[in-house]
Amino acid sequence: MKKDHCIIVSIALIFVLILFKSNNLDVFLSNETYIFPDSYTYIDASNLLYNEFHPHPYRPLGYAALLGLPNLFMTQLTTLDYIIFSFGLNLLFWLFTLVVLFETLMLFTIKKLAYTAAFVFMFSMGNATHIALILSETIVTGLFIFMVFFMFKYTKTKNTKHLIWSVSILNITSLFRPGMFYLGVIFCILLIVYLLRKKEFKRRSFFIFLISVILIISQGMAMFKTYGNFTMSYIDKLAWYFYLGCQSSALEKQISYNDERTLRNEKRKTLSWEELSTLSKEDFKSQIANNSKHMLYAYLNNLFDNCTSGSSNLILIKSLQNNRNNKLMAHRFHVLSKIQNKLYVILAILCLAWFGSFRKYWNIALFVSLSIIFYVILTSGVSFWQGDRFNITVYPLILLTLFSLLDLLFKPYRNKINPV
């Protein structure tokens, strides 16, 4: 490990220790009250995969396979076993994200700025406290930054293997966050068209790309065999039918969200996953045609809430605290996470405006980074009450984009001061 990596990892571990001790997170790790409802679905997905060799209806195979690795060495894993393993896994990916963010910035800027970005991300409350949760966001964050790292490598080396590896990692990300499948398909098509035009097929690198595509097809085939649809997951259908679609329908009927949710839950009980998928699609088409006004209102309201709220994790931590000082500390961290979420979103918008306004700043790495950032932010509007859970996955990409644009802006002046 490089000296710089050792410094970053050491400081990060000290910070996590202080953060966890000051919020009693070390105690909550062994408390099932602290587990998010979604966490149980990930545990179920791992048990289903390792014990019955079936996919979960809305948790794809990637995270289920990774979280369930202890099943290869242990029998009858308890919830506590999953909590401990998940913590170790998330901690490794969080540290990995810090190091890759630093290394990506070192491809084009000075060390001081690379350290600055790494430390800004390190102290992002939503990401740091997410380590304690059995959720996929920390791993997805690491995969995002790893993908963009190879895009920046490509802009520097023009070696197509880096381009292929980058798109391959995005494909693999779909196995952890199925919503990325659609963006992955677009990038796969663009990659293939580019390689055909350049006639630069590198067998080893393209083999990795093929493996990533085969993994996605395997997920779809497993879902088709088990539930009846070739799909990555039914999570998009669930999110529409019980979140945004439910909201907009309630607004149209002038009833409460809970009342509409109850009606939809009753209808759901009698349906198979294949039938729910059909119902969700029909409901979506119907509301687009007949209820677009309320749908747009609900979507924008969700988007605003997800871009301005703090970490729901820290709200839970606050509610579980017994000590008044610890409660106050958790509250302050939550306020900080709310401020950070707003700042990151504002920076993302400024970066997009900056990138779009000056053609001389255009390059494929920045385009891909901004595509992922706004794809994640904009799709968050389908759901609600998520806090910063969607946006934290693109925090390092926002920092990377910002520092890259700043480097492009000041490089001419730096070259005048320090001519080669």
User: What would the pLDDT profile of 17-47 be if each residue is shown by its tens digit?
Assistant: 988 887 777 666 766 766 777 889 999 999 9
Q: Are both 45 and 34 inside the same structural domain?
A: yes
- pLDDT, one tens digit per residue, over 384-416 is 888 899 999 999 999 999 999 888 777 666 555
Residues 240 and 194 in one domain: no
Write the CA distances from 10 to 86, 88, 122, 205, 407, integer angstroms. 21, 16, 12, 34, 27
Domain hosting 244: range is: 234-290
Q: Is 356 exposed, middle or buried (0-12, 13-18, 19+ CB in 10 A)?
A: exposed
Q: For residues 321 and 249, what is the distance between their CA atoms, to the nearest angstrom?
A: 38
Domain boundary pick from 290, 317, 338? 290
Same domain, 266 and 303: no
Band the pLDDT of 380: cuts 50, 70, 90.
very high
| Domains in the chain, number | 2
Q: What is the longest distance spanned by two Cα atoms in the chain?
A: 72
The pLDDT value given to residue 328: 84
| 376 and 282 within one domain | no
Tell me, yes or no, whether 383 and 407 share the same domain.
Answer: yes
Q: What's the mean pLDDT in 201-222?
A: 87
pTM of the model: 0.93
**With DSSP H G I counted as helix, E B as strand and the rest as coil, what are the percentages for the chain, rounded to 5?**
80, 0, 20
Q: Choose the final residue of a domain: 258, 273, 290.
A: 290
Question: Could you tell me if 398 and 371 lie in one domain?
Answer: yes
Query: At which of 246, 263, 290 does a domain end?
Result: 290
Name which of 13, 41, 249, 10 is nearest 131 in CA terms: 13
Q: Which amino acid is at 365?
A: A
Q: pLDDT at residue 174 above 50?
A: yes
In this structure, are 296 and 283 located in the same domain? no
Structure tokens at 6: 């050792």
- Whether 124 and 269 map to the same domain: the answer is no
pLDDT in tens, 84-111: 899 999 999 999 999 999 999 999 888 9
Pair (322, 348) in one structural domain? yes
Q: Which residue has the tokens 């790309």?
A: 209
- Kindly report the average pLDDT of the chain as a whole number: 89
User: Are residues 151 and 243 both part of a single domain?
Assistant: no
One domain, residues 254 and 314: no
| Residue 240 DSSP class | I
Question: Please, which residues have CB within 8 angstroms of residue 197's CB and are 6 or more apart in sequence?
Answer: none
Do 299 and 332 sit in the same domain of this protein? yes
Alpha helices in 68-136 (DSSP H): 79-106, 111-122, 125-130
Token match 């950070």: residue?
Answer: 340
| pLDDT (0 to 100) of residue 202 | 66
Strands (E), 86-223: none
Q: Give the pLDDT score at 37.
A: 79
Number of Cβ atoms within 10 Å of the Cβ of 292: 11
